[in-house]
Chains A and B, each alone.
Chain A
Amino acid sequence: RPLEFRIQQLKALERMVQEKEKEILAALKADLNKSGPNAYSHELLGVLRELVRAVENLPSWAAPHPVKKDLLTLRDEAYIHYEPLGVVLVIGAWNYPFLLIMQPLIGAITAGNAVVVKPSEVSENTARVLAELLPQYLDKDLYAVVTGGAPETTELLTQRFDHILYTGNSRVGRIVMAAAAKHLTPVTLELGGKSPCYIDRDCDLAVACRRITWGKYMNCGQTCIAPDYILCHPSIQDKVVENIKETLKEFYGEDVKSSPDYGRIINQRHFKRILDLLEGQKIAFGGETDEASCFIAPTILTDVSPESKVMEEEIFGPVLPIVTVKSVEEAIEFINLREKPLALYVFSNKKQLITRVIAETSSGGMTANDVLMHAVVPGLPFGGVGQSGMGAYIGRYSFETFSHRRSCLIRDLRWEVVNKLRYPPGSMEMMHL
């Protein structure tokens, strides 16, 4: 509980990231073919940022928060007292395997909890590195790593925790919440969905497409907030394809497969799943694959039908379908007919159009005129809504998620006179006082 202890643990984690950088980067490369600078900027930098923020802000976040009093409580002390919840379970995902364990872990420690961490077995190298390193730096009595797959996780979920934060897909999200319900355990579920990206005719197409290309093909499309599909007017579809093609060359060179900056699909199962989605589609660009190395080239599909398979599930791969719509109204309707996504993107020079899209849709979070970036703004909560999740974390929101806000009213034992009003025998005249 003491703040000094928490800060000590957080600083130990900072040392771990700095001292063991090589090992962590090697694991990320082995799991997802992430290159050094790539892995560093996408995972380690975020972790270090979160650590510094936590250490800096802990004293002010954890301080009792006085509240406004009313006539009856003027003489009392009224405040919100922040307390740890107890033992927290963090279940990570494989796509940003280091980041998605470390960020919640930092939040849970900052709030004063004991933590059990369950990294994804799919990103096995990172899981192993975490299992080896965390006990070396953190207090073993309070923080533990559990490794394993579905059977181990199921067993773990029968235990009682005081909060569970799960990052992954909706199907397992349901299972986690149902297991939590047995113990009345609050949950934060960071799930996913199909994050739409609407491109207005009135926008700087070159810039828009560069930003979209960056967000879509980062980590080979395996990002929960990646723009999943594009909605645009048929008249600009070809230009969009051209611009993305150009940008891809700029980013990854002529031979994408040999670029050190382009990732791979995590495993055979997902490789086959994504390949399946290409069936019957008009491939405007890309489509090359290599099963042995789980390589799928950056791919763009045009004139995609809303009913096709690729439009039914979250793609989570380097395949970008374009669905044409005649207007922003049609785009908004299209989006609202579907489940609420984790992220939503809109590109336009028209401020009014952007305001309208925000007002008439719902999503976990959103960015206008860029992609992914709302997730790195320190003051914004990161989380989903509806099928894309519940709860939020990052920064102060992590602290609040993993804390109990206990209301406290401390009164005086004297001054009974004021209380007499409320005691029986009561009368309506007294009430109107």
Chain B
Amino acid sequence: NPYGGLVSHLRASWLSGKTRPMEYRVAQLEALGRFLDDKKQEILEATELDMGKPSFEAFFSEILLCKNELNVTLNNLCNWMKDEHVDKNLVMQLDSAFIRKDPYGVVLIIAPWNYPIHLFLVPLIGAIAAGNCAIIKPSEISKNTERLVAETLSCYLDSDCFAVVTGGVPETTRLLENKFDYIFFTGSPSVGRIVMTAAAKHLTPVTLELGGKNPCYVSDTCDVTNVARRVAWGRFFNAGQTCIAPDYLLCTIEMQEKLMPALREAITEFFGPNPRESPDFGRIVSDKQFRRLRALLGSGRVALGGQTDEAERYIAPTVLADVQPSDPAMQEEIFGPILPIVVIANMDEAIDFINARPRPLALYAFSCDSKIVNQVLERTSSGGFCGNDTLMHVTLTSLPFGGIGNSGLGKYHGKFTFDTFTHHRGCLHRNMGLETLNSPRYPPYTQQKLGLLTTTFEVKRRGTCTLL
């Protein structure tokens, strides 16, 4: 077991109680803040090398959003850590009943390559805030960022309690043989299954942030220009390599006609006449992904874009029209700058289409009519939902971020990350006196005692006029 020693070392640190005091947690979190500040330039450079991530985007997702999470956590940690007192019944009025926030112990965070800093750092913030030790396993596919994290993070965090492990599939498999007290995984559903199966051997609880095909319904009543801009922004951010990107569009044939020029205009507005020359448009992370995406271009017909360059791993912002449900682009999560449009007759057909497929991580609906947006929301299921925009629901730290079904289990962001890495322990501190109050519960059991128990323990219905 090549990682056994490392895990033991962290577990010993955990058992020493080092990570529990609030001052320690705050110090580590502040160090993470300094990491983001000091290494900002290196992060922007590494992510650009890895996938041509535009600096603007990298700053937004890898630095700004992370600092937000850090600040929300630091501002609220004191409150989050406190015991939560709960309502008591009649017999317990003199007792103290509360929920204690216990750390789990040694946790494992496995991150993917598309937002390589953000997707390990935000979970790590919660893990540290909750008082755990952690092993971070960044993705080997974003190798420049992996190297940066492996080499520099240890200069900021306490190396007795936090460690970075690098490597690919074989290394991760060996790592997963160890017992962790929590595993947080972001990646594909197929690997999610492998992680959960490995966790089951040790009864380790997990959070899995996975993916799927995020549908985007555009109704006939909408401001076409704004819709096109917002959808294009969400689709082409990070060259489409975003788990919550709108994966495909559902609209009527008339709307498809109207959207096309609007999308063309939005793309030109964003990236200029030749997106290849724009510093604001990314590249595909690897040759393997590039070839996978290129193969999808045969679906439907290329209405916008479609140009590729293998040497640069460049795929132009592309819109495919008249895509059929059986086309390759509709068989897998796209994860690239290609937006297929599937034509449907009306909203009901769109909802049926969505519900016939695995539940996605995100779902989008655009309409000037709020009733339509609400209908789509009510009649479908997804991890999260955003009406009349894309991606934005995950930037609000007060909203939980997570999937359902194939798109994942568990949730995080803001306080939800802290709660994810916390065991909520029910505690009751009773009085040793007043023993007579307990007597109805002791044998010998009698109907009389039962009557007393029922009266004191029963929850009475609060009257019949509850208007729903």
**A-side interface residues toward B, CB under 8 Å?**
3-4, 7, 35-38, 40-41, 45, 48-49, 52-53, 55-56, 59, 67-70, 72-73, 78, 80-81, 83, 85-86, 162, 170, 173-174, 177-178, 180-182, 184-186, 189, 191, 203-204, 207-208, 210-211, 214, 250-253, 259-262, 336, 347, 349, 354, 358, 360, 362-370, 373-383, 385-387, 389-392, 404-414, 416, 419, 422-428, 430-431
Known A-B contacts: A252-B444, A405-B400. Give 14 more (CB < 8 A).
Answer: A4-B468, A45-B453, A52-B461, A70-B396, A177-B196, A204-B432, A379-B86, A385-B104, A409-B399, A416-B225, A416-B226, A419-B226, A425-B271, A425-B272
Produce 1/0 per residue, B417-444, CB < 8 A to A.
0000001111111111101001001111
Produce 1/0 per residue, B369-410, CB < 8 A to A.
010010001000111111111001111111111101110111
Given known pairs A37-B445, A184-B408, the reply for A67 and B389 (CB within 8 Å) is: no
Given known pairs A69-B396, A379-B97, A423-B270, the reply for A358 and B427 (CB within 8 Å) is: yes
Residues of B within 8 A of A178 (CB): 197, 200-201
**B-side interface residues toward A, CB under 8 Å?**
15, 17, 54-57, 59-60, 64, 86-89, 92, 97, 99-100, 102, 104-105, 181, 189, 192-193, 196-197, 199-201, 203, 205, 208, 210, 222-223, 225-227, 229-230, 233, 269-272, 278-281, 366-368, 370, 373, 377, 381-389, 392-402, 404-406, 408-411, 423-433, 435, 438, 441-447, 449-450, 453-454, 457-462, 466, 468
Q: Which residue of A lies closest to B431 (CB)?
A: A369
Residues of A within 8 A of B55 (CB): 426, 428
A48 to B97, CA, bound (A): 22
A383 to B99, CA, bound (A): 12
**How many whole Å from A132's CB to the nearest CB in chain B?**
25
User: Do the beta carbons of B387 and A409 come within 8 Å of each other?
Assistant: yes
Q: Which residue of B lies closest to A53 (CB)?
A: B459
**How many whole Å from A216's CB to the nearest CB in chain B?**
12
**How many whole Å from A408's CB to the nearest CB in chain B?**
5
User: Do the beta carbons of B59 and A380 come within 8 Å of each other?
Assistant: no
**How many whole Å from A419's CB to the nearest CB in chain B?**
7
Residues of A within 8 A of B57 (CB): 426
User: Do the beta carbons of A411 and B392 come within 8 Å of each other?
Assistant: yes
User: Do the beta carbons of B428 and A363 come within 8 Å of each other?
Assistant: no
User: Do the beta carbons of A426 and B445 come within 8 Å of each other?
Assistant: no
Indicate which residue in B271, B443, B454 contacts A424 across the interface (CB closer than 8 Å).
B271
Residues of B within 8 A of A78 (CB): 393, 396, 398-399
User: Do the beta carbons of A390 and B203 come within 8 Å of each other?
Assistant: yes
Given known pairs A174-B201, A422-B233, the reply for A368 and B430 (CB within 8 Å) is: yes
Q: Which residue of B lies closest to A410 (CB)?
A: B387
Residues of B within 8 A of A186 (CB): 409-410
For this complex, 7 residue pairs linking A to B, each with C-beta atoms less than 8 Å apart, are A37-B445, A37-B446, A49-B458, A184-B408, A354-B429, A368-B430, A380-B426
Given known pairs A53-B459, A73-B396, A81-B385, the reply for A374 and B428 (CB within 8 Å) is: yes
Given known pairs A369-B430, A374-B428, the reply for A407 and B223 (CB within 8 Å) is: no
**How many whole Å from A253's CB to the nearest CB in chain B?**
7
**How many whole Å from A338's CB to the nearest CB in chain B?**
13
Indicate which residue in B99, B203, B459 contacts A191 across the interface (CB closer than 8 Å).
B203
User: Do the beta carbons of B404 and A373 come within 8 Å of each other?
Assistant: no
Residues of A within 8 A of B368 (CB): 413
Residues of A within 8 A of B56 (CB): 424, 426-428, 430-431
Indicate which residue in B189, B383, B462 contacts A406 across the interface (CB closer than 8 Å).
B383
User: Do the beta carbons of A423 and B385 come within 8 Å of each other?
Assistant: no
Residues of A within 8 A of B389 (CB): 409, 411, 419
User: Do the beta carbons of A366 and B392 come within 8 Å of each other?
Assistant: no
User: Do the beta carbons of B460 and A425 come within 8 Å of each other?
Assistant: no
User: Do the beta carbons of A170 and B409 come within 8 Å of each other?
Assistant: no
User: Do the beta carbons of B97 and A38 come within 8 Å of each other?
Assistant: no
Residues of A within 8 A of B462 (CB): 56
Secondary structure at chain A's binding surface: helix, strand, loop or mixed?
mixed
Indicate which residue in B201, B281, B373, B425 contacts A385 across the interface (CB closer than 8 Å).
B425
User: Do the beta carbons of A381 and B435 come within 8 Å of each other?
Assistant: no
Residues of A within 8 A of B398 (CB): 67-69, 78
A262 to B442, CA, bound (A): 12
A362 to B17, CA, bound (A): 12
A411 to B433, CA, bound (A): 57
User: Do the beta carbons of B445 and A35 come within 8 Å of each other?
Assistant: yes
**How many whole Å from B13's CB to the nearest CB in chain A?**
14
Indicate which residue in B193, B200, B387, B449 contacts A174 across the interface (CB closer than 8 Å).
B200
A411 to B279, CA, bound (A): 29
User: Do the beta carbons of B425 and A414 come within 8 Å of each other?
Assistant: no
User: Do the beta carbons of B54 and A424 come within 8 Å of each other?
Assistant: yes
Question: Closest 6 interchain pairs by CB?
Answer: A379-B86, A426-B56, A380-B426, A424-B280, A181-B196, A177-B200
A380 to B98, CA, bound (A): 7
User: Do the beta carbons of B395 and A72 come within 8 Å of each other?
Assistant: yes
Given known pairs A379-B87, A382-B426, A414-B226, the reply for A406 and B381 (CB within 8 Å) is: yes
Q: Which residue of B lies closest to A368 (CB)?
A: B429
Q: Which residue of A lies closest to B223 (CB)?
A: A413
**How many whole Å from B300's CB to the nearest CB in chain A?**
26
Given known pairs A184-B406, A424-B281, the reply for A410 and B388 (CB within 8 Å) is: yes
Indicate which residue in B102, B272, B442 contacts A214 across the interface (CB closer than 8 Å).
B442
User: Do the beta carbons of B405 and A162 come within 8 Å of each other?
Assistant: yes
Residues of A within 8 A of B400 (CB): 80, 405, 407
A67 to B384, CA, bound (A): 14
